[in-house]
Amino acid sequence: MVETKIYVGLNDSVEKKQLMETEKYISVLRNVCYAYNTPFSFDVEEGGYIHESGEYTKETTLVLTLIDTDKTLVNEIAKDLCLFFHQESVLITEGIVRAYYVSETL
């Protein structure tokens, strides 16, 4: 199975700071996934990165995880999140994972 992660920073691309509470961004992320009718999970992470200019930025990032999702759909979701969160870009990573379900009946 392929695990895809979309990393969306919350700092506005023009203002260079987070403009809304993190919960508002989470709500938007959920609504995007609901609109695409896709299974998902997400994490809220703190991190930093270096701009091409060499400037270092710290920010809150939402990391959306999708399992075995069509690449076209992944790109559509990523583009929507990039637009809605007013980002220059979002990062997408892909990796092969071994995934399985365990269940128990009482």
Cβ–Cβ under 8 Å, residues 93 and 7: yes
- pLDDT tens, per residue, the chain with 106 residues: 999 999 999 999 999 899 999 999 999 999 999 999 999 999 999 988 887 888 898 999 999 999 999 999 999 999 999 999 999 999 999 999 998 889 998 7
pTM recorded for the entire structure: 0.91
Alpha-carbon gap, residue 59 to 18, rounded angstroms? 8
Please give the CATH topology (third level) of the domain spanning 2-96. Alpha-Beta Plaits (3.30.70)
Domain boundaries, given as residue ranges, for the chain: 2-96
